[in-house]
Structure 1
Amino acid sequence: MGLFLASLYVIPLGETYQQELKKWKKFRIGSNAVSHALLVMFIFIFIGSLVSFYTNDSYSQNYLETTAESLSNIVGVEISNFAPGGDSKLSEELINKTVEDQMQKIRDEYPDLTEEQYSQIEIKLKEDLIEKANSFETSDLGFNITETVSNEIENSPLIKSLLIWFPIMMSITIWVSLEFFKNLLFAPVAGIFSYILLSISEAKSDKKNEIKTLKKLSQ
């Protein structure tokens, strides 16, 4: 009974599947053809980019300089923020903490002063710290941040490893990007075009066969 009921559905579904398989075949002809052609092209691109990155040090040097510049900017901003009078809330806290510590030392050394004198000294200390903070620049540190960061990066084992593997990583990145666009865009578009063109060609062929059949019947 189950086989009988299944046969009622299998036959029409088989015909539908056959028709869909023909459509899918038309799509796969263009999709596979473009995929294979692009694969060969991507191999040449991979080899070319690998050779280019290995023979030309400007890519790795540019990567090194860009990394050093970015890290130098970050370090400079952090130093400015930690410095008294910086843009962060931490700067104000540092000023207050510094003034508090200084006032505690003054009170210990000069216990006979009045509260008004202590208050005047505290105001003066805070004004001096704010004035120094407003004129603070990273050049006042006595060393070049960019040069220091660059030296640290060049001596870093991690960065050295990255620079050694840089050509391979970049070539693989290019390969993966091209494969992504191939699977997402190029192959499907080629499949759609092949499906449309083959359908048109098949329709024309069927029409010609139909005309020939009618001519034979009319004779």
Structure 2
Amino acid sequence: MKFSKYEILIITGASISFLIFAIILKLSNISVDSLVNLQNNILKTAIVQTAGMSTTDSLAVLLSQFVGIFISFLFLVLGFVFLSTYGFFIKDSRFKNISLWVGFITGIISFIIFSIIFHSLMSIFLSVAVLISSIYIIPLANTYGKELKKWIFFRVGSHSVSKVLLIINLLIALGIFISVLANQQFYKQSFENEITDIAASMIPQTNNSIIKEEIGKQISVSLQKSPIFESYFRWLPVISALGIWVILEFLRGLIFSNFAGLFSTTMIRLKNKIDKKFKS
């Protein structure tokens, strides 16, 4: 099987986009632990790091925690737009057969990239999600290209990328659920430590380390005896997975699908312009 230069360009562009996504995500220090304690980290930042700041500065500090994640997901979207643009231009059965290999090879490359960069159970779910999505998005974009009548260039990217992001969000949520369930005691202790730190930071400063240690012990004991927190810990796998899924779905519908539409419009118009130039 021989790929055209355009198909090699698509595979390369998508793979590089997925690589940048993985690198930025890795540099952002995102882990299951940080996702489980997301609400605690936000609260801790709001109380400790933004003390004495104005509302605008406080919001800037809070949102800065998510800049890396946001930028990384834009490159994930860009990678899928490469594949959806390729799918849009497929016209005959020969290319349909090759298109499956384009998606499969891109997915395998991304699977290897994620396996090298990330070393966790969660990375397996992310790798599988991108592999499945890379194969699925090409025929999906081709179908949208035939069915849509208005705003075709924008909606091909927007609709197809939105669909595969749904798959990715579901598998990420499933990965978080299984990871937290398998290490529930660890995440319970991690959660207790975060809550203890937050509560201790709200107490007036003292230089007496013994007093600080005693306060920390009292807070920890109170958490362990609290039926509300005990119930929370019991449902922690579900709450963590559901919370992250809701956030990702919000971003998918409001932001990432629209960026995908803008990217696909640009790429399709650029491809048409290049084709016309070579034909003339």
The alignment's TM-score, normalised by the length of structure 2, stands at 0.40
Specify which structure has the bigger relative contact order, considering alpha-carbon pairs within 8 angstroms and separated by 6 or more residues: 1
The alignment's TM-score, normalised by the length of structure 1, stands at 0.49
Larger Rg: 1
